[in-house]
Structure 1
């Protein structure tokens, strides 16, 4: 890709990230193009669909969260690693309003541009969970899909103005429920 085209693409992603953080994932593509000072055709040349734009925007974050899981696997106690990663995921998902709905749909749709990234992210959480389960610090009756769903649930709480003040306390309740009495949070 030419340097000027890459610069335009990066600018569109930065503007889209801000717009989605403010208005949610259903923000108008026309509005994103307007904010970026380009025509809609320019936006669509770089990102032919909303999902392609979201995939490009979110993939880096998914990759970072997956890498973070790998770091935690080797640097933290199993229960601490699981809770820390869960917190990182929840914090990230609350940055982009409505992204949890997309993630929940994409993980079930192999044709989705976001599918592979969501599956990789779920697998990273499942590895942390399995490690904590093997150490006897996490409940044995849950799996990676449950952890993925808990991220979505906790992020949804943060998206709801009337519930957001409870989000941190409820995160603690959920984290404690994931762990056995041998674990901590």
Structure 2
């Protein structure tokens, strides 16, 4: 995922190979949406009408298939980032971005796990996407910090990991007796009362 738009890996493919790849990808999106990121790759290949070998020629790993399946959502997220840059209030802009980021990280059930792994494992096909998301998060954070809304001690990577953690539990929030609003309030303001932690105050 680049700062402008994801690349199209179909260039240079024969027409029949391109059709196979597109069919696999459409099927994968459907299965990941229905069954989460652990959906069977064999079932995806079968439903797409191709053999497992064909699937792996186009997508050598589950992470590679996930990265491709996320691209439409990545474009939507990038568009949100562009719109958020136009928000005059730095705090509101950061909040808009973090909300959109959390929603993106919930595209498929279980997605935070491979994204977290990609933060550590640089060889993952998802690693470049993570780098971009952290970079954009850093842009909004730096603006909020320069306007006095966010603590200087917070880093873009920490804020990204916090958003990832919130995304991980949001689908289960109701089952555990909480809400998205409550979780985001703790994420944004901490759990200390104003003044309890000195100069930092407890805000982001």
- The corresponding residue for 1:29 is 41
Indicate whether 1:111 and 2:115 are aligned. Answer: no
1:128 matches 2:140? yes
Provide the alpha-carbon RMSD of the alignment.
2.4
Give, in whole Å, the separation in 2 of the partners of 1:33 and 1:164.
39
Q: Indicate yes or no: 2:166 matched with 1:166.
A: no
> TM-score, length-normalised on structure 1?
0.84
CA offset at residue 73 of structure 1? 2.0
Counterpart of 2:20 in 1: which secondary structure?
helix
**In 2, are the aligned partners of 1:82 and 1:132 still within 8 Å (CA)?**
yes
Report the Cα distance in structure 1 between the residues aligned to 2:15 and 2:181, rounded to whole angstroms: 43
Contact kept in structure 2, 1:25 and 1:97, CA below 8 Å: yes
Equivalents in 2 of 1:33, 1:168: separation in Å?
A: 39
Alpha-carbon offset, residue 148 of structure 1: 0.9
Structure 2-normalised TM-score? 0.77
Please show how residues 10-159 of structure 1 align to structure 2 within 5 Å.
Answer: 10-159=22-171
Contact 1:59 1:117 (8 Å CA) reproduced: no
Quote the Cα distance in structure 1 between the aligned partners of 2:37 and 2:177: 19
1:175 corresponds to:
188
Q: Displacement, 1:121?
A: 0.8
Number of residues of Structure 1 aligned to a counterpart in Structure 2? 180
Gaps (5+ residues) in structure 1?
none
**Partner Cα separation in structure 1 for residue 88 and residue 21 of structure 2:** 37
Between structures 1 and 2, the one with greater helix share: 1
Q: Which runs of 5+ in 2 are unaligned?
A: 1-12, 191-199
Indicate if the aligned counterparts of 1:85 and 1:125 stay in contact, CA closer than 8 A.
yes
Q: State the shift of 1:164 in Å.
A: 8.0
Higher alpha-carbon deviation: 156-165 or 95-104: 156-165
